[in-house]
Chain A
């Protein structure tokens, strides 16, 4: 089968450094004594904790329930005892804390009762729910819940399934090793994914610097119809979802739209493998392969339980003495960890030990000379230098007009910038500022709406009250005219309801109380005299006298008995 390849514009070719870690087989990381499992490990909401301190959990037991449909479940990676459910710092550039479950492992690795499913007998909806409850999320780094990506979008169906084995970031080899060693797992996962979306065609894109992985997947997919393993040119960021879709199908998915809207969807090879485990074996996603590389003596890949402390894990690779930073992810898009005692999450594809020699800090930032090197390498086909000027000037409207949200933060522009400008930092700043402004605006809009609603309600109530008062006044006048008649009519009716006390007595007592209260009010009113009116003009004083007269009239009116309780 021949697939015509398309090109994405831009891209760079940094030194790959993959050989160091790609030569060694995947090993199993030792079970740590404690695991810290963050409940928030995917896009969407934070799952609600299902366990509390002291509770014993089994391997694979759900400890976090997906909140709504837009999140994914979290499971205990091994058996043991919950020792804490509390806020802990996450391995995230923000350095923010979120609810984590700390488990003291018991070393027994006792599984829950696994419930494998024959996928061919199940409906796509059931399979999607299983994936959600098994905590399957994209393992390429974005950790988007997989069940959501399997819903057909605007186009109604997903004809082409793209499997991403490009792994374009330098140093990282976890997908490469997975493809070499577990191609059959990936193949089964692909079959399930294909079944769920009934895709006619599957394209597996792998950068052509991984011939063994390509061969392994070709062998594993030999029997499958309509499946192509396509070597794609090695050029960062060929493994970016939109870039790979472009290379394999020619379709460009703009920011804010999803592949499903165009009849394509893309999954990482490791995600496919975890789909297989979730459905065929009933095992939730509790571990992942992590590349340990950089300034280390023994680079390689380790199958790691989620929640394993990163520093303990990195020790397996024996970092060299001059290691000064630890990076999670690759050198192009990874971030420097604020601390190394943070846990491995579903997003941790690589831990890089960094040294000043290996990843030298950039030189001093110079002014932009508009050389256009960034424009040539931008895979989103933006004008990075323009976005830089606008971001720097906080001209966010312009930045947005020039497509700052189309930026995928791949870092190509900053990689080539001769002026050493940390371009991506400027874009992050502009984007987050805009999001904050948007949030503030939404909050302000909500507050204004609330205020307007309340004002309208107060207004309405006031009008209603005035109307009622007017009606009452009118009725009061009538009542004054025929007070005796009304009383005569009311009294017998009321007597009919009275059971214990004679109504007349009650009536008298009430009347006395009311009369007393009225007198008190009257005496108070009499005591209150208009003030500061001595120096007024005669006209003003006349006006005041008029007002006073009106007030007296109102008081008189108020004295007339109401015809019904207010």
Chain B
């Protein structure tokens, strides 16, 4: 016998996940425009691996296959893996990384809704630690020859230098750190074709397309403003502060916000509800932490981008953040008990 409420909004996990996928489409389209169709192959590979891994784990765990396989959550993980990995990594790397994300990071922790870490970011971090060279192998702008890309992906041949190049973040770091030239940020960014107008040739347009998709997700109320605003705001603020203090050694806010995984992360990764904070203040703290870690790792760390590590490290803090940021309950706003939730007593 059904209990109240007897009516229900026509919304489901599947609808939410499909909307997230839809919001990624503009970014993917621009991606294809600048870097060719290889990314579509990677998305397909990751999706197939994700669904396969999901099906296998659901069967092993005795969960209903039709219910969970169609919820779209594995596809979101797969697409985010494909979009954060270089589009010309060998097929076995993206497939095994996706398996790892689905099997270890998701299902071994209890499946949908239970994973403390963002599965896509786990895949990224594992891969960049295990295969740093392959994970730094980004296609040059203009390397859009599909046959050549497929050759790199499936024959696992090291691509020629002509078709790969460092990402803007990588290029900036390498050149700043090379003591040979007395390089300045302005000099590097201005002189290099990699960097486009504001944050990397091609990449800046993809980032803007992600921004458009993210704003649509906001409008659809799939995500709230807290994480994107706090993440991009804090990242811009710290970049501004350092670049004002020493413009020769530190890149400015537009570069940091537009380049690398910042925009994708702000709207699609750090907003992951399962592994992120849930309270409004918690979301702000979470996103602030991710932004600070991202900037620190980008600027001082050994890896080109810090978004993935920032997200995973802040995932660790989520239980504590949520616990300490519980908002007051209706009628209990004047109760003085610190951050702890104040509820009523037993009747």
Q: How far is the CA of A521 from the CA of B279 in the complex (A)?
A: 84
CB pair A331 B7 closer than 8 Å? yes
CB pair B331 A170 closer than 8 Å? no
Q: Mark A337-365, 1 if CB is under 8 A from B, else 0.
A: 01000000000000010100001111110
- CB contacts (< 8 Å) of A419 on chain B: these are 12-13, 113
CB pair B1 A338 closer than 8 Å? yes
Whether, in the assembled complex, B190 has its beta carbon less than 8 Å from a beta carbon of chain A, the answer is no
Whether, in the assembled complex, A163 has its beta carbon less than 8 Å from a beta carbon of chain B, the answer is no
Q: How far is the CA of A323 from the CA of B170 in the complex (A)?
A: 66
CB pair A402 B2 closer than 8 Å? no
Whether, in the assembled complex, A325 has its beta carbon less than 8 Å from a beta carbon of chain B, the answer is yes
Q: How far is the CA of A14 from the CA of B11 in the complex (A)?
A: 13
Partner-contacting stretch, out of B50-58, B244-252, B337-345? B337-345
Whether, in the assembled complex, B278 has its beta carbon less than 8 Å from a beta carbon of chain A, the answer is yes
Q: Which one of A9, A386, A416, A428 contacts B330 once the chains associate, using CB atoms below 8 Å?
A: A9
Given known A-B contacts A366-B13, A371-B273, A383-B279, A402 and B6 have beta carbons under 8 A apart: no
CB distance from A360 to the nearest CB of B (A): 8
- CB contacts (< 8 Å) of A414 on chain B: these are 5, 8
CB pair B331 A416 closer than 8 Å? no
Whether, in the assembled complex, B147 has its beta carbon less than 8 Å from a beta carbon of chain A, the answer is no
- CB contacts (< 8 Å) of B241 on chain A: these are none
Of chain B, the residue at the smallest CB distance from A371 is: B273
Of chain A, the residue at the smallest CB distance from B224 is: A372
Whether, in the assembled complex, A112 has its beta carbon less than 8 Å from a beta carbon of chain B, the answer is no
Given known A-B contacts A252-B330, A369-B273, A361 and B2 have beta carbons under 8 A apart: yes
CB pair A370 B274 closer than 8 Å? yes
Q: Which one of A336, A338, A402, A411 contacts B341 once the chains associate, using CB atoms below 8 Å?
A: A402
Of chain A, the residue at the smallest CB distance from B9 is: A416
- CB contacts (< 8 Å) of B340 on chain A: these are 401
Residue among A254, A325, A329, A375 having the largest count of chain B Cβ atoms under 10 Å: A254
CB pair B114 A242 closer than 8 Å? no
Q: Mark B44-86, 1 if CB is under 8 A from A, else 0.
A: 0000000000000000000010011001010000000000000
Those of B1-48 within 8 Å (CB) of chain A: 1-9, 11-13, 15-16
Whether, in the assembled complex, A89 has its beta carbon less than 8 Å from a beta carbon of chain B, the answer is no
Given known A-B contacts A363-B12, A367-B113, A435-B346, A411 and B4 have beta carbons under 8 A apart: yes
CB pair A411 B330 closer than 8 Å? no
- CB contacts (< 8 Å) of B113 on chain A: these are 366-370, 419
- CB contacts (< 8 Å) of A333 on chain B: these are 4-5
Whether, in the assembled complex, A438 has its beta carbon less than 8 Å from a beta carbon of chain B, the answer is yes
Whether, in the assembled complex, A29 has its beta carbon less than 8 Å from a beta carbon of chain B, the answer is no
Of chain A, the residue at the smallest CB distance from B340 is: A401
CB pair B330 A366 closer than 8 Å? no
Those of A487-534 within 8 Å (CB) of chain B: none
Whether, in the assembled complex, B159 has its beta carbon less than 8 Å from a beta carbon of chain A, the answer is no
Interface of B, helix, strand, loop or mixed by DSSP? loop
Whether, in the assembled complex, B328 has its beta carbon less than 8 Å from a beta carbon of chain A, the answer is yes
- CB contacts (< 8 Å) of A255 on chain B: these are 331, 343-344
Q: Mark A410-447, 1 if CB is under 8 A from B, else 0.
A: 01001111111010110010000011001000000000
CB pair B330 A254 closer than 8 Å? yes
Q: Which one of A360, A371, A385 contacts B16 once the chains associate, using CB atoms below 8 Å?
A: A371
Q: Mark A372-400, 1 if CB is under 8 A from B, else 0.
A: 11011001111101100000000000001
Those of A230-254 within 8 Å (CB) of chain B: 242, 246, 252-254
Those of A193-247 within 8 Å (CB) of chain B: 242, 246
Q: Which one of B6, B73, B279, B347 contacts A334 once the chains associate, using CB atoms below 8 Å?
A: B6
CB pair B278 A366 closer than 8 Å? no
Whether, in the assembled complex, A405 has its beta carbon less than 8 Å from a beta carbon of chain B, the answer is yes
CB distance from A404 to the nearest CB of B (A): 7
CB pair B346 A253 closer than 8 Å? no
Q: How far is the CA of A112 from the CA of B9 in the complex (A)?
A: 51
CB pair B345 A256 closer than 8 Å? yes
CB pair A405 B345 closer than 8 Å? yes
CB pair B344 A254 closer than 8 Å? yes
CB pair A422 B273 closer than 8 Å? no
CB pair A434 B346 closer than 8 Å? yes
- CB contacts (< 8 Å) of B9 on chain A: these are 12, 415-416
CB pair B331 A406 closer than 8 Å? yes
Those of B302-347 within 8 Å (CB) of chain A: 322, 326-333, 340-347
- CB contacts (< 8 Å) of A254 on chain B: these are 329-332, 344
Q: Which one of A12, A246, A368, A405 contacts B346 once the chains associate, using CB atoms below 8 Å?
A: A405
- CB contacts (< 8 Å) of A257 on chain B: these are 331
- CB contacts (< 8 Å) of B114 on chain A: these are 367
Given known A-B contacts A334-B6, A359-B6, A369-B112, A438 and B326 have beta carbons under 8 A apart: no
CB pair A380 B329 closer than 8 Å? yes
Whether, in the assembled complex, A278 has its beta carbon less than 8 Å from a beta carbon of chain B, the answer is no
Q: How far is the CA of A172 from the CA of B270 in the complex (A)?
A: 43
- CB contacts (< 8 Å) of B273 on chain A: these are 369-372
Q: Which one of B5, B12, B111 contacts A367 once the chains associate, using CB atoms below 8 Å?
A: B111
CB pair B331 A242 closer than 8 Å? yes
CB pair A401 B5 closer than 8 Å? no
CB pair B344 A403 closer than 8 Å? yes
Whether, in the assembled complex, A119 has its beta carbon less than 8 Å from a beta carbon of chain B, the answer is no
Q: How far is the CA of A354 from the CA of B64 in the complex (A)?
A: 29
Q: Which one of B13, B68, B330 contacts A380 once the chains associate, using CB atoms below 8 Å?
A: B330
Q: How far is the CA of A4 from the CA of B3 in the complex (A)?
A: 37
CB pair A415 B7 closer than 8 Å? yes
Of chain B, the residue at the smallest CB distance from A374 is: B278
Of chain B, the residue at the smallest CB distance from A396 is: B346
Q: How far is the CA of A370 from the CA of B274 in the complex (A)?
A: 5
Those of B238-279 within 8 Å (CB) of chain A: 273-274, 276, 278-279
Residue among B1, B67, B68, B340 having the largest count of chain A Cβ atoms under 10 Å: B1
Whether, in the assembled complex, A332 has its beta carbon less than 8 Å from a beta carbon of chain B, the answer is yes
Of chain B, the residue at the smallest CB distance from A431 is: B347
Whether, in the assembled complex, A63 has its beta carbon less than 8 Å from a beta carbon of chain B, the answer is no
CB pair A366 B347 closer than 8 Å? no
CB distance from B339 to the nearest CB of A (A): 12
- CB contacts (< 8 Å) of B5 on chain A: these are 331-333, 411, 414-415, 424
Whether, in the assembled complex, A327 has its beta carbon less than 8 Å from a beta carbon of chain B, the answer is yes
Q: Mark A304-344, 1 if CB is under 8 A from B, else 0.
A: 00000000000000000000010101011111101000000
- CB contacts (< 8 Å) of B111 on chain A: these are 367
Q: Which one of B15, B71, B330 contacts A406 once the chains associate, using CB atoms below 8 Å?
A: B330
Given known A-B contacts A254-B332, A402-B341, A416-B11, A335 and B3 have beta carbons under 8 A apart: yes
Q: How far is the CA of A327 from the CA of B346 in the complex (A)?
A: 29
CB distance from B345 to the nearest CB of A (A): 6
Given A255-B331, A366-B113, 4 other A-B contacts at CB below 8 A?
A361-B2, A400-B344, A405-B346, A418-B12
7 closest cross-chain pairs (CB), A and B:
A403-B343, A254-B331, A411-B5, A255-B344, A367-B113, A405-B344, A252-B331
What are 22 A-B contacts with C-beta separation under 8 Å? A15-B7, A254-B329, A331-B7, A332-B7, A362-B8, A366-B68, A367-B111, A369-B13, A370-B274, A370-B276, A375-B278, A381-B328, A386-B322, A401-B341, A403-B341, A404-B343, A409-B4, A415-B8, A418-B11, A418-B13, A424-B3, A438-B346
